[in-house]
Amino acid sequence: MNKKRYRVTLSDDERQSLEALTKKGKTAARRITRARILLQADASAQGPGWTDEQIHLVLDVGLATIYRTRQSFVEDGLDLCLRPRKANREYRHKLSSEQEAHLIALACGKPPAGFARWSLRLLARRFVDLRHIDQISPETIRQTLKKTS
């Protein structure tokens, strides 16, 4: 692996706050784990300066997590390193509010002849047949109806 090496060097204040955080145990487990990673990776005179593999074996944490924690500490600082990362994914709705209204009306209506009730596949097929949308999966139908119950 040709990864850039991020060297963690903690100040005395940072080290004390991380030790207090790990001993208190009144915070999120992910935050405590990241604090432990930083304490073991500390390459200053007070720290053990362990390698990623040593931390991986002792703390039972993935190597990618250790690498990203080191990287975040070096690039962003201690406070941002301990916080959960914000999701960088955007979710867009597959149905407009008008389409959702049509779907709910269809689901609340009488099922087709020969069927006792609407199934998700039947709703999806009928919704496409009515030309409300080009294609839709039964899972999208399920999520939309679950959201509106």
| 54 lies in the same domain as 16 | yes
User: Domain range spanning residue 104?
Assistant: 97-144
pLDDT given at position 126: 97
pLDDT given at position 88: 83
Specify the number of domains making up the chain. 2
| 75 lies in the same domain as 16 | yes
Measured between alpha carbons, how far is 98 from 115 in angstroms, rounded to an integer? 26
> Residue 1 pLDDT more than 60?
no
Measured between alpha carbons, how far is 140 from 146 in angstroms, rounded to an integer? 10
Q: Which residue has the higher pLDDT, 1 or 64?
A: 64
| 74 lies in the same domain as 135 | no
Percent of the chain with pLDDT over 90: 85
pLDDT tens-digit map of 46-96: 999 999 999 999 999 999 999 999 999 999 999 999 998 887 888 888 999
pLDDT given at position 149: 64
Which of 82, 105, 136 is a domain's end point? 82
pLDDT given at position 53: 95
Residue 149 included in any domain: no
Measured between alpha carbons, how far is 36 from 21 in angstroms, rounded to an integer? 9
